[in-house]
Amino acid sequence: MLALAVVAGGLLVPRLVPERYVPWNTVAFPEVDRSALTPLQGRVLDELEQQYRDPQSGPFYSEGVTQAWCANFVSWIMSRAGAPYVNPNSGHWRIPGVWTLHDYFVGEQRFVPADTGYVPRTGDVVLYISPFGSEHTNMVVSADPQTGTAITLGGNETGAVRLHRLRWEDDGAVIGFGQLPEGPAIAG
Protein backbone atom coordinates (compact mmCIF):
# COMPACT_ATOMS: atom_id res chain seq x y z
CA MET A 1 0.00 0.00 0.00
CA LEU A 2 1.13 3.51 -0.76
CA ALA A 3 0.07 6.73 0.91
CA LEU A 4 -1.22 9.24 -1.61
CA ALA A 5 -2.81 12.62 -1.12
CA VAL A 6 -6.31 12.78 -2.58
CA VAL A 7 -8.21 16.01 -3.14
CA ALA A 8 -11.53 15.81 -1.30
CA GLY A 9 -13.64 18.94 -1.00
CA GLY A 10 -10.63 21.16 -1.63
CA LEU A 11 -8.51 19.46 1.03
CA LEU A 12 -5.61 17.07 0.55
CA VAL A 13 -6.47 13.90 2.40
CA PRO A 14 -3.85 11.13 2.78
CA ARG A 15 -5.15 7.72 1.69
CA LEU A 16 -3.62 4.28 1.57
CA VAL A 17 -4.11 2.80 -1.88
CA PRO A 18 -2.90 -0.42 -3.49
CA GLU A 19 0.20 0.07 -5.60
CA ARG A 20 -1.67 -0.97 -8.76
CA TYR A 21 -3.43 2.44 -8.71
CA VAL A 22 -0.27 4.46 -9.33
CA PRO A 23 0.92 5.28 -12.86
CA TRP A 24 4.45 3.89 -12.54
CA ASN A 25 6.17 0.59 -11.79
CA THR A 26 6.63 0.31 -8.03
CA VAL A 27 9.20 -2.53 -8.14
CA ALA A 28 11.79 -3.89 -10.54
CA PHE A 29 11.21 -7.16 -12.38
CA PRO A 30 12.37 -9.78 -9.86
CA GLU A 31 14.91 -12.53 -10.23
CA VAL A 32 12.92 -15.78 -10.04
CA ASP A 33 14.38 -19.19 -9.21
CA ARG A 34 13.48 -20.94 -12.45
CA SER A 35 14.61 -24.33 -11.14
CA ALA A 36 11.47 -24.41 -8.98
CA LEU A 37 9.11 -23.63 -11.89
CA THR A 38 7.12 -25.99 -14.08
CA PRO A 39 7.68 -25.70 -17.84
CA LEU A 40 4.42 -23.74 -18.21
CA GLN A 41 5.36 -21.36 -15.41
CA GLY A 42 8.69 -20.76 -17.15
CA ARG A 43 6.98 -19.92 -20.45
CA VAL A 44 4.51 -17.59 -18.69
CA LEU A 45 7.38 -15.88 -16.86
CA ASP A 46 9.23 -15.42 -20.18
CA GLU A 47 6.16 -13.76 -21.72
CA LEU A 48 5.59 -11.55 -18.67
CA GLU A 49 9.19 -10.38 -18.68
CA GLN A 50 9.10 -9.67 -22.41
CA GLN A 51 5.97 -7.53 -22.00
CA TYR A 52 7.50 -5.74 -19.02
CA ARG A 53 10.57 -4.89 -21.10
CA ASP A 54 8.66 -4.04 -24.32
CA PRO A 55 5.05 -3.22 -23.41
CA GLN A 56 2.42 -2.57 -26.06
CA SER A 57 -0.81 -0.59 -26.03
CA GLY A 58 -4.17 -2.11 -25.11
CA PRO A 59 -5.44 -2.87 -28.65
CA PHE A 60 -2.33 -5.00 -29.26
CA TYR A 61 -3.50 -7.47 -26.57
CA SER A 62 -7.16 -7.09 -27.59
CA GLU A 63 -6.95 -8.04 -31.28
CA GLY A 64 -7.27 -4.39 -32.25
CA VAL A 65 -10.33 -3.71 -30.08
CA THR A 66 -10.26 -0.57 -27.95
CA GLN A 67 -11.69 -1.57 -24.56
CA ALA A 68 -10.64 -2.19 -20.97
CA TRP A 69 -7.85 -4.68 -21.52
CA CYS A 70 -6.56 -6.18 -18.27
CA ALA A 71 -8.26 -9.54 -18.95
CA ASN A 72 -7.17 -9.41 -22.59
CA PHE A 73 -3.58 -8.99 -21.41
CA VAL A 74 -3.83 -12.07 -19.18
CA SER A 75 -5.46 -14.07 -22.01
CA TRP A 76 -2.78 -12.94 -24.46
CA ILE A 77 0.05 -13.99 -22.13
CA MET A 78 -1.46 -17.46 -21.72
CA SER A 79 -2.01 -17.86 -25.45
CA ARG A 80 1.60 -16.89 -26.15
CA ALA A 81 2.80 -19.29 -23.44
CA GLY A 82 1.07 -22.16 -25.24
CA ALA A 83 -1.83 -22.66 -22.81
CA PRO A 84 -4.64 -20.53 -24.24
CA TYR A 85 -7.84 -20.07 -22.30
CA VAL A 86 -11.16 -20.99 -23.87
CA ASN A 87 -13.77 -18.27 -23.50
CA PRO A 88 -16.88 -20.01 -22.05
CA ASN A 89 -19.12 -17.75 -24.16
CA SER A 90 -17.37 -17.81 -27.54
CA GLY A 91 -14.80 -20.63 -27.46
CA HIS A 92 -12.14 -18.08 -28.47
CA TRP A 93 -8.73 -17.77 -26.70
CA ARG A 94 -9.39 -14.18 -25.65
CA ILE A 95 -11.46 -13.59 -22.52
CA PRO A 96 -12.07 -9.82 -22.45
CA GLY A 97 -13.92 -9.50 -19.14
CA VAL A 98 -12.84 -10.12 -15.56
CA TRP A 99 -16.15 -11.82 -14.65
CA THR A 100 -15.91 -14.10 -17.67
CA LEU A 101 -12.33 -14.89 -16.66
CA HIS A 102 -13.64 -15.70 -13.15
CA ASP A 103 -16.34 -17.96 -14.65
CA TYR A 104 -13.71 -19.68 -16.77
CA PHE A 105 -11.58 -20.51 -13.73
CA VAL A 106 -14.62 -21.69 -11.75
CA GLY A 107 -15.71 -23.92 -14.64
CA GLU A 108 -12.20 -25.37 -14.91
CA GLN A 109 -12.10 -25.92 -11.12
CA ARG A 110 -9.05 -23.68 -10.94
CA PHE A 111 -10.49 -20.73 -8.97
CA VAL A 112 -9.28 -20.36 -5.37
CA PRO A 113 -11.09 -17.80 -3.18
CA ALA A 114 -8.85 -15.27 -1.47
CA ASP A 115 -9.84 -16.28 2.06
CA THR A 116 -8.55 -19.88 1.85
CA GLY A 117 -4.92 -19.25 2.83
CA TYR A 118 -3.75 -20.16 -0.68
CA VAL A 119 -0.33 -18.75 -1.60
CA PRO A 120 -0.29 -17.73 -5.26
CA ARG A 121 2.40 -19.06 -7.58
CA THR A 122 4.19 -17.71 -10.61
CA GLY A 123 1.68 -17.56 -13.46
CA ASP A 124 -1.45 -17.48 -11.30
CA VAL A 125 -4.03 -14.83 -12.10
CA VAL A 126 -5.22 -12.40 -9.41
CA LEU A 127 -8.88 -11.31 -9.67
CA TYR A 128 -10.06 -8.10 -8.00
CA ILE A 129 -13.36 -6.32 -7.38
CA SER A 130 -13.06 -2.98 -5.66
CA PRO A 131 -15.56 -1.76 -3.07
CA PHE A 132 -16.86 0.51 -5.86
CA GLY A 133 -17.52 -2.44 -8.17
CA SER A 134 -14.65 -1.98 -10.61
CA GLU A 135 -12.96 -5.18 -11.75
CA HIS A 136 -9.33 -5.88 -12.51
CA THR A 137 -6.93 -8.76 -13.07
CA ASN A 138 -3.18 -9.25 -13.34
CA MET A 139 -0.65 -12.09 -13.11
CA VAL A 140 1.74 -13.25 -10.42
CA VAL A 141 5.40 -12.96 -11.40
CA SER A 142 6.65 -14.19 -8.02
CA ALA A 143 5.28 -14.67 -4.51
CA ASP A 144 6.84 -14.77 -1.06
CA PRO A 145 4.80 -16.81 1.41
CA GLN A 146 6.90 -15.48 4.31
CA THR A 147 5.86 -11.87 3.73
CA GLY A 148 2.51 -12.51 2.06
CA THR A 149 3.51 -10.44 -0.93
CA ALA A 150 3.52 -11.06 -4.64
CA ILE A 151 4.97 -9.14 -7.54
CA THR A 152 2.30 -8.81 -10.23
CA LEU A 153 2.34 -7.65 -13.84
CA GLY A 154 -0.85 -6.44 -15.40
CA GLY A 155 -2.26 -4.68 -18.39
CA ASN A 156 -4.43 -1.59 -18.24
CA GLU A 157 -2.99 -0.53 -14.88
CA THR A 158 -3.46 3.21 -15.28
CA GLY A 159 -3.50 2.59 -19.03
CA ALA A 160 -0.26 0.65 -19.37
CA VAL A 161 1.57 -2.58 -18.51
CA ARG A 162 2.75 -2.15 -14.91
CA LEU A 163 4.67 -4.10 -12.28
CA HIS A 164 3.57 -3.80 -8.64
CA ARG A 165 3.83 -5.39 -5.22
CA LEU A 166 0.65 -6.97 -3.82
CA ARG A 167 -0.07 -7.93 -0.22
CA TRP A 168 -2.87 -10.30 -1.14
CA GLU A 169 -4.20 -10.81 2.39
CA ASP A 170 -4.37 -7.03 3.05
CA ASP A 171 -5.98 -6.01 -0.24
CA GLY A 172 -9.74 -6.29 0.27
CA ALA A 173 -10.36 -6.09 -3.48
CA VAL A 174 -8.68 -9.47 -4.12
CA ILE A 175 -11.49 -12.03 -4.55
CA GLY A 176 -9.26 -14.94 -5.50
CA PHE A 177 -6.79 -16.56 -7.83
CA GLY A 178 -6.97 -18.48 -11.09
CA GLN A 179 -4.44 -21.28 -11.11
CA LEU A 180 -2.39 -22.49 -14.05
CA PRO A 181 -3.63 -25.77 -15.54
CA GLU A 182 -0.83 -27.73 -13.89
CA GLY A 183 -1.50 -26.18 -10.46
CA PRO A 184 -2.41 -28.34 -7.48
CA ALA A 185 -5.93 -29.76 -7.49
CA ILE A 186 -8.55 -27.77 -5.63
CA ALA A 187 -10.41 -29.68 -2.95
CA GLY A 188 -14.21 -29.92 -3.22
pTM score, whole prediction: 0.89
pLDDT of 61-93, one tens digit each? 999 999 999 999 999 999 999 999 999 999 999
Q: CA 111 to CA 14: how far, in whole Å?
A: 35
pLDDT of 135-178, one tens digit each? 999 999 999 999 999 999 999 999 999 999 999 999 999 999 99
List of domains in the chain: 23-178 (3.90.1720.10)
Please, which contacts does 105-109 make with residues 24 or more away whose CB atoms are closer than 8 Å?
A: 105/176, 105/178, 105/179, 108/181, 109/185, 109/186
Query: Is 164 in contact with 24 (CB distance < 8 Å)?
Result: no
3-17, 21-35, 134-148, 160-174: segment of lowest average pLDDT: 3-17
